[in-house]
Structure 1
Amino acid sequence: MLVKQKGIIIKTVDYGESDKIITILNEHGAKIPLMVRRAKKVKSGLQATTQLFVKGLFIYNKWRGMGTLTSVDVIDSYYDLRVDLITNSYASLCLETIDGAMDTDQVDPQMYALLEFALTQIEKDVSAQLIANIVMLKCMTYYGFDINLTQCAVKHTEEPGEFVGYSFKYDGVISKSAAHLDPHLMPLTNKALYLMAILKQLPLSKINSISIHDDIVEEMSQFILLIYKEYSGMYFKSQRLINQLRRFNSTFE
C-alpha cells in the first residue's frame, strides 16, 4: 500500500552501511518510523532529503511492520537551523523534548503544531533558546508533571510582583512574605516567573513577535531544565551538547 503523508523528520538512525531509519512526526501527530534504503548513497537522491528537520510530503510503502520510504517532496528543509551549532542544538532540543513526550503509538496533532511552530520561529531568527523554553513549558504535562506559576504555594497570593522564587519544598512559586519558610528556595525574578506563566498558557496562535532579554531567557532555561530533572528525572542529550559548546566558546572569549 502506497501512503502519502506530510511530516517532519524528528529522528535518524544509521542502519547498516548504506541504509538508515528515520522517524517522522506526521501532520496528524503520529510518529512513523521508515526504512530508507541506500540513504547514505549520493546517487539515491535521499541523502539530503532525509536529514533532521526536513519537512515534506513523504511517500512510502506500508504493508506489515515498518514502512519503506520511496521519495520525499521537500516543503522546507529549514536550512538555516544547520548553519549555527548552538541554534542547531536548541532546535534538536525541541525535537528531543517532543519525541520524548510521546509514546510510540500516541497520536496528538498538538505535538505536530508545536514542532512546526518551533522550527518556523527559529527560522525567523527568534531566539532558539527561547523557543526551546516554550516547547519545554508546553510539554511538561506529557512528562507526568505540572507546575503552578500564578499563585504562591504558601500564601496563595496571585500577585506576580510579589513572587521571588520557586520552592521544591512546597512545589510552587513563593511570595516575598513566605520566602523565609524555605532556606533552599530557588531565587527567580518575578519577570521570569510571569513570562513563563504567560508562555505556558498562551495558545501558539497568540504567540507573535517574541522578544525577551537574553538574561531572562537564560534564567528561564536554568529553571525549566532543573524542573524536568527534579520532577521527571530527564536530562536531555541536546542540552549536554549545548553546555559543551558554551564551555568551548568561553575559552576563546
Structure 2
Amino acid sequence: MQYRVQGIVIRSMDYGEGNKIVTLFTRELGKAAVIIRGAKKVKSRYASVAQLFTCGDYLYFKSGQLGTLNHAEIVESHHRIREDLHKAAYASYMAELTDRMLPDQEANAFLFEQLKAGLQGIDEDKDMQIISFMYEMKIWMQAGYQPELDACVSCRSAEGAMRFSSSLGGILCERCRAKDPGAVPLSPGGWKLLRLFAHTDIRRLGQIDVKPETKETLKKLMRTYFDTHIGLQLKSRHFLDQMEKYGV
C-alpha cells in the first residue's frame, strides 16, 4: 500500500552500504519506519530528506514492517539546528522523547504540530530549554503521565504558596506539605510557568525571558518527576547533562 504523509525525521540509522532507515513522526500515521535507498551516497537526491529534524512530504510504499521511499520533498530542512551543538542537543532530546514514548503507527496530529513548532522555534533562536520543557510536558500529557498542576493533589486547594511533589504527582499546598517533606517549594512565577508548559500551544509561543535560577529549579523538578513516573534512560538527556557539566 502507498502512503503520502508529512513527517519529521526523529531517528536515522545506516542500513547496508548505501541506505538509511529513518523513523518519521507523521501527522497522518504517527511513527513510521522507512528505508531510503541510496541516502548515504554523496550525490543521492534523497540524502537531505534522511537527515535528523528534516520536515518533509514523503511518499512511500509499505508491504511489511518497513516502508520504502518513492519520493520526498523538503518542507523545512532545519540545517541551522544540525549545525549548532546546543540546538541539536535540545532537538535530539525532543526527537528521542517522541521516539521512545509514543507507540508506532498511532496518529497524533496535535503532538506532530507541537514538535514541528518546537523545532521551528529552536531554529528561530527562541529559548530552546523552555521549548523542550513545553514539549516534554505535552508528551507526558499525551502518554497519560500528566502531573496535577492546577490544585493541590491532596485537598484540591488552589490558594497560597505551593510545592511540587514528584512522588505524589503534582503540587501540594502549605497545609498538606507534611505529606511529602521532599516537595520542592515553588515561587508564584514557577507555578505559573509549569501551567504554561502544560496548557500553552507551542505554536503560540513568543520570545520568553525566564531567570536562569528559575529554569534550573524547573529542570530539576521535571527530571525528578520523569525519573519517578516514567524512568526511561535517554542518551540525549545524558548528553545535555555532560554539556552542562563541562560548560560546553
Say which SS state the counterpart of residue 111 (structure 1) adopts: helix
User: Alignment length, in residue pairs?
Assistant: 248
Query: Does the 8 A contact of 2:81 with 2:88 survive in 1?
Result: yes
Deviation at 1:135, TM superposition (A): 0.6
C-alpha displacement of 1:181: 4.7
- Extract unaligned runs of 5+ from structure 1: none
Displacement of 1:51: 0.4
1:144 match: 144
Give the alignment of 1:8-47 within 5 angstroms.
8-47=8-47
Specify the alignment match of 2:91 in structure 1: 91
Retained in 2: the 8 A contact 1:118–1:131?
yes
Question: Normalized against structure 1, the TM-score is what?
Answer: 0.87
| Alignment match of 2:230 (pick from 224, 232, 237) | 232
Q: For residue 64 of structure 1, report the CA deviation from its aligned partner.
A: 4.0
Which position in structure 1 is the counterpart of 2:247? Answer: 249
Query: What is the correspondence of 1:71-86 to structure 2 with a 5 Å cutoff?
Result: 71-86=71-86
3-state SS of paired residue (2:8): strand
Question: Offset at 1:16?
Answer: 2.0
Would the alpha carbon gap of residues 144 and 235 (structure 1) be closer, same or farther in structure 2, given more than 3 Å must change?
farther
Instruction: Give the one of 191, 197, 201 matched to 2:195.
Output: 197
Residue 39 of structure 1 aligns to a residue whose secondary structure is coil
* 1:144 positional shift: 3.5
> Structure 2-normalised TM-score?
0.89
Q: How does 1:34-73 map to 2 (within 5 A)?
A: 34-73=34-73
Name whichever of 3-12 and 86-95 sits farther off.
Answer: 3-12
Asked if the contact 1:150/1:194 (under 8 Å) is kept, the reply is no
The runs of 5 or more residues in structure 2 that have no matched partner are: none
Task: Report the Cα distance in structure 1 between the residues aligned to 2:201 and 2:184, rounded to whole angstroms.
Answer: 28
Question: What is the Cα deviation at residue 194 of structure 1?
Answer: 1.8
Which ranges of 4 or more aligned residues in structure 1 deviate by more than 6 Å? Answer: none
1:62-211 aligned at under 5 Å gives the runs 62-159=62-159, 161-163=160-162, 165-168=163-166, 170-211=168-209
Question: Hey, what's the Cα distance between the residues in 2 that align with 1:71 and 1:23?
Answer: 16
Superposed CA RMSD: 2.2
Say if 2:166 and 2:225, in contact at 8 Å, map to a contact too: no
Deviation for aligned residue 1:48? 2.6
The AA in structure 2 aligned to 1:187 is P
Indicate the larger mover: 116-125 or 141-150: 141-150
Q: Deviations over 1:43-72 (max 9, x none)?
A: 223223310111112232334442211332
